Structure 1
Amino acid sequence: MAEHHYDVVVIGAGPSGEGAAMNATKHGKRVAIVEDKPTVGGNCTHWGTIPSKALRHSVKQIITFNTNVMFRDIGEPRWFSFPRVLQNAEKVMGKQVKLRTQFYARNRVDLFNGRAYFLDEHRIEVRGGKGEEILNAKSVVIATGSRPYLPPDVNFRHHRVYNSDSILKLSHTPRTLVIYGAGVIGCEYASIFAGLGVKVDLINPGSRLLTFLDDEISDALSYHLRNNGVLVRHNEQYESVEGDDHGVILTLQSGKKIRADAFLWCNGRTGNTDKLGLENIGLEPNTRGQLSVDEHYRTAIPHIYAAGDVIGWPSLASAAYDQGRSVSSDLIGDEHFRFVSDVPTGIYTIPEISSVGKTERELTEAKVPYEVGQAFFKDLARAQITGEAVGMLKILFHRESREILGIHCFGDQAAEIVHIGQAIMNQEGEANSLNYFINTTFNYPTMAEAYRVAALNGLNRIF
């Protein structure tokens, strides 16, 4: 059995693993990465972020075609099959895999295909690959990601019962769909399927959608989902899910029964830690399969780090990449280490949502004297031109100092627009001020101009 020696062994080739491996090898470390899937990119590329966003883009184009008056001359509204729309997503995934495979080759990172298993604190066996190999590592980064939590009382082997991974293999287009779980993933898929003309029931175990969002944005999302034909049911728990040849019957604890062509489970995720042999090194994940780390991403064993979804919050590809880079910074001992905490939300519903900083509720509870500046997209020339009039930008700022405290955006391109506000929020002292937006000339017509409109709107509220 061959044994190889490395400075750093990274387990998992998703965003956090890639971030850690690339940063370490750039600083002269000898690095290996172990990946149990046939291709690199992690869940992000193959099952999560990339395919669902590519899918959403195609659906948005279909919605435009079916609703824009200009296209009516071409023909009647079209019905699109789900598998056909997925083909575009698969092309994007292929491009991502090719790009990321080149990163490892170009930077001389050894890629081992197979499942990593800890023999002890420094030795990792690669199982199920071409040959059994042992990697001896000075430091290890666990970046194994997460998978959908699957309750044992739901039969996911049934051909009409799906989870947020297997839905990407859906080979037909259901006319009716029940989605259980109204977190980010559930809301995104509700938007996508409603956009394809599917009648969606969205079952939310909680009392409102995405409670971490600003209340006004959460309300707007609820309205637009319902406006697009999604029936949202709050405060409901499942009793049973039964599939037959024709569809699925969901029985709720409240006694309701809902029948649909297909069922999609989007409720919770589990860290991928169960087959790593962690018991051999004394590391114990929590009940959700996640590892706890300190403020330097170290587990209870100082030379073994963890990053990305496997440590829980915020479980975003964007944060995972930065966490992985930070792990390497700690290993190398350079000055670029940061604990990733200032993370913008990007939610790719239709329309999309993005925010950074505090919400109105948080500021009110903390008794911070804030004010609000708003810009509604329907009033912006650029949105009128593109026909994307749904949405708004909201700036929360301190009444006295005018410091920016929160940016909340809802509507087309929200995830891009939010970064302008984020850049100003991160400036030191007086440079973080509403005045920047008032005293800066924005291109016209643009969506970015929403900042000038919102800032002037907020200025008018101060007396």
Structure 2
Amino acid sequence: MEFDYDLFVLGGGSGGVRAARLTALDGHKVALAEESRMGGTCVIRGCVPKKLMVFASEMPWTVDLARNYGWDAEPGRFDWDAFRDRMHSELDRLENAYETNAEKAGVEIFKQRARLTDAHTVELADGTTKTAKHILIAVGGHPVRPDMENADLGIVSNDVFHLETLPKKLLIVGGGYIGCEFAGVFNGMGVETSMFIRKAQILRGFDDEARGHVADCMQQRGITIHTGCAPTAIEERDGGIWVKGSNGHEEVFDALLWATGRKPNTKGLGLEEIGVELNRQGAICVDEYGQTAVPSIFALGDVIGKVELTPVAIREAVAFHKTVFKGEKTAMDYDLIPSATFTQPEMATCGMTEEEAEEKEPTDVYATAFRPMRQAFAGDEERVLFKMLVSKESGKVTGATIIGPGAAEMMQFVAVAMKMGATKEDFDRTCAIHPSMAEEMVTLKEPVRSLS
């Protein structure tokens, strides 16, 4: 059978575009459909604008620091309109780059929604159909609101970047990394920020000691965290949004941000009708090579619900390209993936948490918390945290956590060492850079506790 394309990609995010470009550059005929904006969640409504907002929100802290170093500095007034407009100009530039680079590689782009009608056929929103030997689904996910009355009074993360004005008082519901990151952002921009979280602590799934450290720092910076609390009632009241929590707390806010999770964008794609299996969360089930139950259809990125990080989607795309178009069967390596949470303070991790290590093998825990030189001189009481988990049997570093300024920048290179199988002895025999925060990773001497 002759097909219109060798590959048809659904989704113009980082993973989909990478797979499309690599395949087109190899001389194959490739098409891509994107119903929204090229660049996907990360570029348009996620990592990039979020990080720009983090930078903006940290400026008052920088000004305070400068003043304590002798500079005559005042923060002044934050101009949300000016920042927002410049941010969107940058997003427009990045979107254009994504589109231009894909087209230069030879990818034909359809700016409309697509769905599958069989194992090799894609139907576009305008009713036209295209056939492809291989189909790749990389449509990502979306934030969700809870199923409760008046939930639509609240916004979700996608809406944050388009706010007409900053609220004076904000409630964030949800204590995951998205909720905690935006709590730091809005607090830094001068918004009175509160959080409702159902559990006893923020950042479920991360190292318990690290979670507690970040929570303490957030509260010291002025964020109010109501733990063990979920909204039970929401109403428009007194010119704002009245929210009652399960702990009995009631308050009126100018805005409510739902940070209660994300779901894959699999609805309405015709997947189950043609035999593609979905799990209970609606994510596409794939094997180690990204292949679905329908041999010609593959999937990657947030839509498969494995590790929802942009660099992971890009690596999954490379593995897909090698497997399908290079004849080199390549499975994505999900071991020791570093990640950063751009809370304030910033947290970066790689490998196991202490709780995971305790379940797996005897482990020595090395940790230290201290005031770094830069902040200590300025009278800032906030402490950074460095933590390392070491296998007693092999001596290998199996987990690392850094909390503090530049945590992500430091962890990137710690992760390289860990991926190479570095032992604690390797770190010990590496000379420190002094004075720096990062030197703590090579000067941790005695374990603070052992897990048996």
Q: TM-score, normalised by structure 2?
A: 0.90
Q: Is the 8 A contact 2:15 2:313 kept in 1?
A: yes
Tell me the equivalent position of 2:345: 351
Deviation by residue 1:238-264 (Cα, 9 ceiling, x = unmatched): 222223472101122344322111111
Change in 2 beyond 3 A, CA 1:175/1:153: same
Tell me how far apart the structure 1 counterparts of residues 211 and 60 of structure 2 sit (CA, whole Å). 25
Tell me how far apart the structure 2 counterparts of residues 388 and 100 of structure 1 sit (CA, whole Å). 43
1:206 to 173, 187, 199: 199
Task: Say whether residues 1:145 and 2:144 are aligned partners.
Answer: no
Tell me how far apart the structure 2 counterparts of residues 310 and 81 of structure 1 sit (CA, whole Å). 36
Task: Write the letter of the residue equivalent to 1:35.
Answer: E
Displacement of 1:381 after TM fit? 7.2
Tell me the equivalent position of 2:128: 133
Displacement of 1:108 after TM fit? 0.9
Change in 2 beyond 3 A, CA 1:457/1:216: same
Tell me the equivalent position of 1:49: 47
Q: Which aligned pairs between 1:297-308 and structure 2 lie closer than 5 A? A: 297-308=290-301
Task: Write the letter of the residue equivalent to 2:351.
Answer: G
Q: Is the 8 A contact 1:36 1:114 kept in 2?
A: yes
Change in 2 beyond 3 A, CA 1:212/1:452: same
Q: Which aligned pairs between 1:63-82 and structure 2 lie closer than 5 A? A: 63-70=61-68, 74=72, 76-82=74-80
Q: Is the 8 A contact 1:23 1:329 kept in 2?
A: no
Q: TM-score, normalised by structure 1?
A: 0.88
* Identity within the alignment, %: 28
Tell me how far apart the structure 1 counterparts of residues 379 and 413 of structure 2 sit (CA, whole Å). 20
Q: Is the 8 A contact 1:214 1:360 kept in 2?
A: yes
Tell me how far apart the structure 2 counterparts of residues 309 and 45 of structure 1 sit (CA, whole Å). 14
Task: Write the letter of the residue equivalent to 1:47.
Answer: R
Change in 2 beyond 3 A, CA 1:442/1:190: same
Tell me the equivalent position of 2:14: 15
Tell me the equivalent position of 1:283: 276
Change in 2 beyond 3 A, CA 1:196/1:293: same
Deviation by residue 1:60-81 (Cα, 9 ceiling, x = unmatched): 1232124532588545443324
Q: Is the 8 A contact 1:236 1:254 kept in 2?
A: yes
Displacement of 1:43 after TM fit? 1.4
Tell me the equivalent position of 1:6: 5
1:440 to 430, 433, 436: 430
Change in 2 beyond 3 A, CA 1:236/1:50: same
**2:324 partner SS:** helix
Tell me the equivalent position of 1:103: 101
Displacement of 1:287 after TM fit? 4.8
Task: Write the letter of the residue equivalent to 1:12.
Answer: G
Q: Which aligned pairs between 1:389-408 and structure 2 lie closer than 5 A? A: 390-399=383-392, 401-408=394-401
Q: Which aligned pairs between 1:419-458 and structure 2 lie closer than 5 A? A: 419-428=412-421, 432-454=422-444, 456-458=445-447
Tell me how far apart the structure 2 counterparts of residues 386 and 17 of structure 1 sit (CA, whole Å). 47
Tell me how far apart the structure 2 counterparts of residues 99 and 442 of structure 1 sit (CA, whole Å). 40
Task: Say whether residues 1:192 and 2:200 are aligned partners.
Answer: no
Task: Write the letter of the residue equivalent to 1:347.
Answer: T
Change in 2 beyond 3 A, CA 1:73/1:393: closer
Tell me how far apart the structure 2 counterparts of residues 357 and 345 of structure 1 sit (CA, whole Å). 9
Q: Is the 8 A contact 1:382 1:447 kept in 2?
A: no
Tell me the equivalent position of 2:23: 24
Tell me the equivalent position of 1:324: 317
**2:165 partner SS:** coil
Displacement of 1:182 after TM fit? 0.9
Q: Is the 8 A contact 1:118 1:124 kept in 2?
A: yes
Tell me how far apart the structure 2 counterparts of residues 87 and 214 of structure 1 sit (CA, whole Å). 37
Deviation by residue 1:269-317 (Cα, 9 ceiling, x = unmatched): 1111112222541335345332111222111112111111111132111
Deviation by residue 1:390-423 (Cα, 9 ceiling, x = unmatched): 4122121123542111111111111121122211
Tell me how far apart the structure 2 counterparts of residues 425 and 201 of structure 1 sit (CA, whole Å). 37
Tell me how far apart the structure 1 counterparts of residues 437 and 311 of structure 2 sit (CA, whole Å). 23
| RMSD between superposed Cα atoms in Å | 2.8
Change in 2 beyond 3 A, CA 1:263/1:72: farther
Tell me the equivalent position of 2:117: 119
Q: Is the 8 A contact 1:122 1:139 kept in 2?
A: yes
Deviation by residue 1:347-374 (Cα, 9 ceiling, x = unmatched): 01111111111121222233x3322333
Tell me how far apart the structure 2 counterparts of residues 16 and 289 of structure 1 sit (CA, whole Å). 19
Displacement of 1:48 after TM fit? 1.1
Tell me the equivalent position of 1:85: 83
Segments of 5+ residues of structure 2 without an aligned counterpart are none
Which stretch of structure 1 is more off in the superposition, 276-285 or 321-330? 276-285
Change in 2 beyond 3 A, CA 1:400/1:286: closer
Q: Is the 8 A contact 1:390 1:412 kept in 2?
A: no
Deviation by residue 1:127-183 (Cα, 9 ceiling, x = unmatched): 14xxx532211111110011111235354654xx31111121111121211111111
Change in 2 beyond 3 A, CA 1:227/1:385: closer
Q: Is the 8 A contact 2:237 2:252 kept in 1?
A: no
Q: Is the 8 A contact 1:59 1:85 kept in 2?
A: no
Change in 2 beyond 3 A, CA 1:417/1:329: same
Deviation by residue 1:16-40 (Cα, 9 ceiling, x = unmatched): 2123213322333221111111x31
Segments of 5+ residues of structure 1 without an aligned counterpart are none
Task: Write the letter of the residue equivalent to 1:87.
Answer: D
**2:180 partner SS:** helix
